[in-house]
Chain A
Amino acid sequence: MLLIPCPYCGERAESEFSYGGEAHIARPADPEKASDADWADYLYLRTNTKGVYFERWLHAHGCRRWFNIARHTVSYEVLAVYEMGAPPPKLDTKREV
């Protein structure tokens, strides 16, 4: 069970949250001009990092607000919490655990 630090409610159990997957995936700016490969990239391709991963969470059974976290996908340690729309924090992403 992860303890996820909701920036609005504080630390809560993982079961209160929904997962939103990888953060910072930009929708093609000009959809009419996007090729099939661009759409495949946007819809399906993921970095799936073993290490520090930037991801979105929704406090579904709480304040119902979205936010981003940076989490290590081996230790599951939460390294940073930041609001939607903010750029990812600068972290040592190659750090081994």
Chain B
Amino acid sequence: MDWGGFQSMAARYSIFSLIRNALAYHEDWPAAWRSPEPKPAYDVVIVGGGGHGLATAYYLAKELGVRNVAVIERGWLGGGNTGRNTTIVRSNYLWDESAALYEHSMKLWEGLSQDLNYNVMFSQRGVLSLAHNQHDLRAQSRQSNANRLGGIDSELLTPAQIKAFVPIMDLRAGGRYPVLGGALQRRGGTARHDAVAWGYARAADALGVDIIQECPVTGFRIDNGRVQGVETAKGFIQAGKVGIVVAGHSGVMADLAGFRLPIISKPLQALVSEPVKPVLDTVIMSGAVHAYISQSDKGELVIGAGTDRYVGYGQRGSLPVSEDTIGAICELFPSFRRLRMMRLWGGIVDICPDASPIIGKTPVEGMYFNCGWGTGGFKSTPGSGWVFAQTIAHDRPHDLNAPFSLDRFRTGYLIDEHGAAGVAH
């Protein structure tokens, strides 16, 4: 790939650099990215150093030649929802608009490790969604057929096929959650979430993007309806354009910019077990019981639960929500009952009324929002960054994200993905 002369071959990761550094006791690895002080002005400032923000900066620099870019982050890279999700990637959404967007992302995932020269551990182990009743079966076959018509792989499995695919699962599920069928996207899977943030950060930095951490945004300078720059803890930073990708805090940023969004923020929970030997080589999700589970490369079972019902910015979830999920997991996987859980946490997700994101222009000229990914942002990290970079560079949405405008709440052109989004991400 074109590293634009910023990164020497010595800094490139390869089997040779691994051997060379192993012989040096791994004490000489170069820093993966710089930590510069902010310059007084940039062509584009991206607010939010999660996966989506870093991906946006990377594609701006790589594909659109916009290299005078800063990413400013309140905390540390990937410390928000990028490091808190359950790492699931899939593209089997119902509507054409969503399927095109998520499938674009899937195609980028498939080449991402090579593109970034960073192993994001993308593993296409399959994502199996369960049906527990007749309605689930019908909804699933509708969605699966829509996916196949749109060129996205999807297979409907019978209980016998599911048993062969996931022998450890009890299809009777204690009688509470009987498994009557399932939809499998074999190209779906998982990726290492931290590596996605770090890989994009390193690749963007190599192209000249300044990544500025521990720099909260305190306000925006707006003159005559046009954004002039960003007030931060490290002073004012002038910006030609400002892209805001802050997930749960989108409402807070919109408030600073003087408008409101159709979004509410809630904690979404996940938890991991102690590490065990390999027992589950795919991703199982069930929208009906708000549970999803996979096994990490370290052997931990990674379990996702639902969102709290009420607005909240505390990065912790309500216990009844995770109890419900664990109850369902224990019925589906009786052998997991004796596992101890090691960690339980929450991330603040930004939920739109139609469970689809908002990517585009705002009432403030030169200011762009990418938000509302809700419970499903991780899978779309590459595609989201890609379309957002296009939107910012050209000051108009790309065809892929044009339907996901803020204006759809006025026109009524909603993209209702509650069925496909569920909580299962």
Q: Which residues of A contact B (CB under 8 A)?
A: 1-2, 14-15, 18-19, 21-22, 36-37, 39-41, 43-50, 53, 55, 71, 73-76
Contact = CB atoms under 8 A, between A and B. Distances in A.
Closest 8 CB pairs of A and B: A48-B251, A44-B262, A19-B309, A40-B410, A45-B260, A44-B409, A40-B409, A50-B313
B318 A53 contact: no
Given A1-B319, A14-B320, A55 B310 contact: yes
B353 interface: yes
Contact of A21 (B249, B264, B320): B264
A40 B312 CA distance: 23
Contacts of A14: 318, 320
A43 B249 CA distance: 21
Contacts of A41: 260
Interface in B295-341: 309-314, 318-320
Bin the interface of chain B by size.
20 to 34
A47 B254 CA distance: 9
A45 B261 contact: yes
Interface in B376-425: 409-412
B251 A47 contact: yes
Q: How would you classify the secondary structure of chain A's contact residues: helix, strand, loop or mixed?
A: mixed
A46 B319 contact: no
Given A2-B318, A47-B251, A36 B410 contact: yes
Contacts of A44: 262, 353, 409
B313 A47 contact: no
A20 to B, nearest CB: 10
Nearest to B411: A36
B190 interface: no
B252 interface: yes
Given A15-B320, A76-B314, A50 B411 contact: no
A48 B410 contact: no
B265 interface: yes
9 contacts: A21-B311, A40-B409, A43-B409, A44-B262, A45-B261, A46-B251, A46-B264, A73-B311, A73-B312
Contact of B252 (A22, A43, A50): A50
Nearest to B249: A50
Contacts of B309: 18-19
A36 B353 CA distance: 16
Contacts of B265: 48, 50, 73
Given A1-B320, A44-B262, A46-B251, A37 B311 contact: no
A56 B319 CA distance: 21
B209 interface: no
